[in-house]
Amino acid sequence: MLLVLNAGSSSLKFALYPQQVAAAPLADGLLEWRDGQLSGVLRQDGEADCHWQDEAGAQPHARMLGWLLHTLTARQLPVQAAVHRVVHGGSHFTQALRLDARILAELEALTPLAPLHQPHNLAAVAQLAQLQPDLPQFACFDTAFHSSQPELAQWFALPRSWFEQGVRRYGFHGLSYAWVAHRLPELHPQAGDAKVVALHLGNGASACAMQGMRSVASSMGFTALDGLMMGSRCGQIDPGVLLYAQQHLGMDVGAVEKLLYRQSGLLGVSGLSSDMRTLLASDAPAARFAVELFCYRAACEVGALATALGGLDVLVFTGGIGEHAAPVRAMICERLAWLGLALDDRANRDHATRLHATASRISVYRIEADEARQMVREVQPLLNR
Ligand SMILES: Nc1ncnc2c1ncn2[C@@H]1O[C@H](COP(=O)(O)OP(=O)(O)O)[C@@H](O)[C@H]1O
Ligand SMILES: CC(=O)OP(=O)(O)O
Ligand SMILES: [Mg+2]
């Protein structure tokens, strides 16, 4: 049994797969740590049949994972290996691999580049090792899919030595895009020759340009801050704003980090929520404006990536917002009408897989993100070595 883990700041998604690439997980669910409370939900056979709650107390994450391992073992589903989504693999790690102490130290050094993700990803590795020391543990990287990008797409216009030190555009959400690259040819037979832009719109949001189903450019860069507007991250910003915040407003580095990662995006602009569902349900003008800005920025980024590709044949929506927010898809596509893109309104409202109108020059698809299954695919060749 292979346990797939995707650890975030306050939640940990898990799924348990048999050690062959099966269509559906044997069990999956979510562990959460919020307001001093721990909770867990486990689904088996599609039914959420196990709920757990406890006070946070000491070592909350270890207790959540302890509950999970205990529950799975009690159900005759003992965990034999674990694979983690690790957001940043830096320039060295461009493939799934088995974790050891040396690799973990290198990954820890990348924490400043992904402060919202990397520490939580690595904490889950350490806690599992404590609970089950012999467990083989693997990592799959969000940056790996983008390692195929040409140098032109990777460089900032900084002095040469900065690139050599690793200050370059990496790109993220690679597990989600790799899954899109796997699924799209099943939906669009000419996908291999197509110029594709995929939009991963979730709590974090980014866009990726693909040619030959490989990444050639992306909107996220050195960290998961650049590019699109997100739930609470600002996306693309004039770096002069950061100088202004420090030099004239006297903000220290911690305050600037908090501003960029946690107080901006949909949350900052709406003053209401980072959650797209809440904003779409609200009549407040600031909520509507936040949604409009989100869509405007996404459409502009699609235009930029179409230029990187030299054309656009296919647009893909994925991630929580991309999969479920029909009004957001409609607003983004409206702004791309000049490219010859037309949605089928009904298909969009019904969340169909194929979303474009018959007359559209550009095909549009909705693909459900499945980072967990992509991780199983990537780690499969390493399991029986
Ligand atoms: N039915 C829905 N309509 C609109 N937005 C939705 C819907 N379901 C989920 N979302 C949005 O998706 C976002 C979360 O995306 P998800 O990909 O699940 O996030 P994460 O990055 O945490 O994995 C939230 O903004 C949420 O409001
Ligand atoms: C890289 C990133 O932004 O991930 P998430 O969408 O899970 O926050
Ligand atoms: Mg996500």
What is the average pLDDT across 55-71? Answer: 87
What is the average pLDDT across 328-345? Answer: 98
Binding site listing for ATP: 13, 200-204, 275-277, 320-324
Instruction: Between 36 and 85, name the one with better pLDDT.
Output: 85
Ligand 2 atom 8, closest CA: 204
Instruction: State pTM to two decimals.
Output: 0.95
At 22, is the pLDDT very low, low, confident or very high (cuts 50, 70, 90)?
low
pLDDT value of position 61: 82
pLDDT value of position 50: 83
What is the average pLDDT across 211-226? Answer: 97
Q: Does residue 78 have a pLDDT over 80? A: yes
Ligand 2 atom 6, closest CA: 204
Out of 3.30.420.40, 2.60.40.10, 3.40.50.12160, 3.20.20.220, select the CATH number for domain 2-146: 3.30.420.40
Q: Does residue 116 have a pLDDT over 90? A: no
Q: Which atom of ligand 1 is nearest to the CA of 369?
A: 17
Q: Which atom of ligand 1 is nearest to the CA of 13?
A: 23
pLDDT value of position 329: 98
The set of protein residues with a Cβ atom below 6 angstroms from ligand 2 is 87, 117, 142, 172-173, 202-204, 224
The 3-state secondary structure of 166-182, one letter per residue: CCCCCCCCHHHHHHHHH
Q: DSSP readout, 161-227?
A: HHHHTT-S-----HHHHHHHHHHHHHH-TTGGGSEEEEEEESSSEEEEEEETTEEEEES--SSTTSS
What is the average pLDDT across 37-59? Answer: 86
Query: CATH 3.30.420.40 in the chain, residues?
Result: 2-146, 189-366
**Nearest Cα to 178, choosing from 215, 204, 207, 131?**
215
At 46, is the pLDDT very low, low, confident or very high (cuts 50, 70, 90)?
confident
Q: Is 126 exposed, middle or buried (0-12, 13-18, 19+ CB in 10 A)?
A: middle
pLDDT tens sequence across 139-155? 999 999 999 999 999 99
- Please tell me the number of the ligand nearest to residue 201's CA: 1
pLDDT tens sequence across 285-302? 999 999 999 999 999 999
ipTM for this model:
0.98
- Residues 50 and 42 sit within 8 Å (Cβ to Cβ): yes
At 316, is the pLDDT very low, low, confident or very high (cuts 50, 70, 90)?
very high
Q: Which of 30, 87, 145 to mutate to test the pocket of ligand 2 (most atoms within 8 A of CB)?
A: 87
What is the average pLDDT across 46-73? Answer: 86
What is the average pLDDT across 155-171? Answer: 96
- Residues 178 and 374 sit within 8 Å (Cβ to Cβ): yes
At 21, is the pLDDT very low, low, confident or very high (cuts 50, 70, 90)?
low
The set of protein residues with a Cβ atom below 6 angstroms from ligand 1 is 202-204, 231, 275-277, 280, 319-321, 324-325
Q: Give the CATH number of domain 189-366.
A: 3.30.420.40
Across 28-32, 205-209, 212-216, 238-242, least confident range = 28-32
- Does 252 participate in catalysis according to the annotation? no
Sheet containing 363-366, strands listed edge to edge, beginning at the edge strand earlier in sequence: 214-218, 205-211, 195-201, 314-318, 363-366
